[in-house]
Each structure stands twice: as C-alpha cells, then as structure tokens.
Amino acid sequence: MKRENPDYKIGEMNKISLNRNGQYVWAIKDINFEVKQGEVLGIIGKNGAGKSTLLKILSRVTTPSTGSVKLKGRVASLLEVGTGFHQELTGKENIFLNGSILGMRKDEIKSKFDEIVEFSGIGRYIDTPVKRYSSGMFVRLAFAVAAHLDPEILIVDEVLTVGDVEFQKKCIGKMHHVSAKEGRTVLFVSHNMAAVKNLCTRGLILEYGKVFYQGDIGWTVSKYLAASNHSGEVLLRDRHDRSGNNKFKFTNIKLKDIRGESLTQVISGEPLIAEIDYESDEKIKGILIIAVSFLDGYGNTIATFITDEMGVKFENIEKAGTIYLKIPKLLLRSDNYSIRLFASLNGTQSENILDDIENALTLNVLPGDFWNSGQLNRVGNYGLMDGQFYN
C-alpha cells in the first residue's frame, strides 16, 4: 500500500527558511489588490515570497486553486527566458506566433515587425531558430515582442537582469513610455530597488505568500528595506570591545531613511540619517567631538564625518541625549560597510578619547542609478558624501 502523499495537507506558511515538515505550502494566499489603467506597479519581496507565482496566475499560465482574477485587456508577459517561444521556429516566426496568441491579425503584426526587430537589436539572427539564441538574445526578442504588440497590460518578471545594462535601460524607458504616453498598465517584479523606484508609481510587498504592504512606491521601498533587515538598531551600551574613559558611552545607533524607517541597507545616492544615543556620568563640560566613519570590508576608512572639521560645536551639552548625522546623498558604491563611532573632549589626542567603537553597525549599500544613465554604481571606486551634524 502506498504511503499518503504529504502534499495533500494544506495550510503551512510559505517560509523557505523553515524545515519541511511534510505539509503542503500555499505559494500565495489571501491576496487582494487592484491595478488601474496606466499604473506601473512594482511587486517586490524576498526569494520565495510568491512574486513569480502571482505573475503566472495573472498571465493565465497557472490557474489559481481558489479565488479569481479579473483582467481587462490583452496581456503580454515576460516571465522566464524562452517562455512563449517555440524552440524550432525562427525569431521571425515566433514574432508572428506571439502576435497570434495575443489575438492580433497578420497585417497588424507586419506593421510592428520592423520596429520589434530594431528594438531587439538582433536583426542579423531574426531568421535563425531561437533554440540557437543565447539567453540575452532570448530576452531582447521576448521583451521587444511583449512591448510592441500593443498589449493593454505588460507583465515583466526579474528576467530583464539577464540582458546587458544598455538593453535594460531601453526596456525601462519603453515601459515608462507605454505607461505614461500610451496609458498601458505595467506590472514589474525586480530585486533592483533603484529600477523599481525609477519606474513604478505604486508598490506591493509580498511576504510569505501574502501582501505585507502596498502603497506609494517611495514608502513601499522604505518598508521593504526596513523589513528585509528587521531593524537598523544595534544596542551599544553593553559592548566591551571599546576604548575610552568609561565615563561617556555611545548607547545606541539607528540608521533611518528620510521617512523615519529603520534600515541597515540603503540605495546608493539616497538620504541617510544616523541617530546616535549617548550617556555620560555627568554633564559634558567643554566641546564634544563626534566622528562617524564608514569602513570597507578590508578595514579601509572610506569616508569620515567629524564635527570640528565640519564647523559643528556640541558644547556643554546634557549628560544624555541623541546626536544626528544627516547625509542628503549617500554616494558610496554598492558594498557592505561597517560604521565606527568616536567621541573625544576638547581634542582628538589619546588622553581626550571618551569612547571609540569599531563595527558599531553594518550598512549594506545597494547599487543605484545616481547619474540617471542606466549604469548602476556597483563595487569599484568610491564616491564622496556631504553631511550635517545636529542634536
């Protein structure tokens, strides 16, 4: 007698970090949202959150086990490399095949054919069977077909990351155009928060197969970055690996965005605020000097903000409080950085050191399109930053 299939049981939360206990997992559940005409919706979430499953259901590739989806208009989807292409047919034949699937007449497809080929940039291979295409060529042709065959709804998954940077920029520009100029609806899934913020007008976060948050794209990205790391807050009060006179201590540090959301990762070029709490045995008499440094993985100091160099004076301040460092544009390349906190009184000589903590907090800087060129500032040369202290 065969054993019972454990996948017949349902109800477990879709959390990929949990050990499998033999129960079936809902990929997505209890999802309810509406996308208006001409809106660009960014769908974000961790791996396994249910993003691709949701897009497959919206694209009618997968049938929902419960619930319903209402779509008004033709849907073109770009979900996985090669999806919707017949491997034995040429690029040209696949263009006509995809157009027919969308319900277009042959003369309509012909009128768009040259534009599709030109956008894809693979005209030399348009009569070659697509089974001989590279993944990048697949994506180029697939997106060109999906974007140019007049769909009312365009659904694009993370597949665009397969293409080169130049083509990614063309795709983002095309999606901007079809939504803003032609009033078409775009659903875009990506882990690239810079691309999501630049393209989308509204966002939706999926977590464990459910909607965690939806709203303005700025708030959505902030919520996602904050939730991805749970909190940007690290308690420093009990750290013993510190230098100083033990009469003054940094007790806490929080990193926040301009909306006040705690985080430990930020998009390069975005604002960043550091909230630094301190305590002293007595009221501080004299000039308190604070330094906040950003160090790379090799321990090299990449940028330092020092109050006295910046013309900021914290003089005769209370024995407990909070000091803020506001960085309007964090122009660091994408990488992981550690933050060092330093405090001294009336000078930076060793005898004046109040507190010195290395690796007080780790900050993950994500690549961003700061120059709006389509080129993300990944690991490499470091940028410069401007900041302001206050309390």
Rounded to whole angstroms, the Cα distance separating 236 from 184 reads 51
Among 175, 207, 228, where does a domain finish? 228
Q: Are 229 and 265 in contact (CB under 8 A)?
A: yes
The pLDDT assigned to 10 comes to: 42
User: Would you give per-residue pLDDT tens digits along the chain (391 residues)?
Assistant: 445 444 444 445 556 555 555 556 788 888 999 999 999 999 998 878 889 889 989 988 888 888 889 999 888 887 776 667 888 999 999 999 888 877 778 898 899 899 999 998 999 999 999 999 988 888 888 888 888 877 899 888 876 666 677 788 888 888 888 888 888 999 999 888 878 888 899 999 998 889 999 999 988 888 887 766 544 556 788 888 888 888 899 999 999 998 888 888 888 889 999 999 999 999 988 999 999 999 887 678 889 999 988 989 899 889 899 999 999 998 888 888 989 999 999 887 777 899 999 889 888 898 887 777 767 776 655 666 678 888 7
Among 205, 228, 251, where does a domain finish? 228
DSSP designation for 38? T
Residue 278: which H helix or E strand, with range? strand 272-280
Residues 202, 172 within the same domain: yes
Residue 85 belongs to domain with CATH number: 3.40.50.300
The pLDDT assigned to 4 comes to: 45
Residue 358 covered by a domain: yes
Residues 189, 283 within the same domain: no
Among 228, 248, 281, where does a domain finish? 228
Rounded to whole angstroms, the Cα distance separating 289 from 106 reads 74
Residue 311 belongs to domain with CATH number: 2.70.50.60
The number of domains in the chain is 2
CA–CA distance from 27 to each of 1, 31, 77, 151, 250 (Å)? 30, 11, 20, 27, 44
Tokens at residue 102, please?
């969308």
The pLDDT assigned to 324 comes to: 94
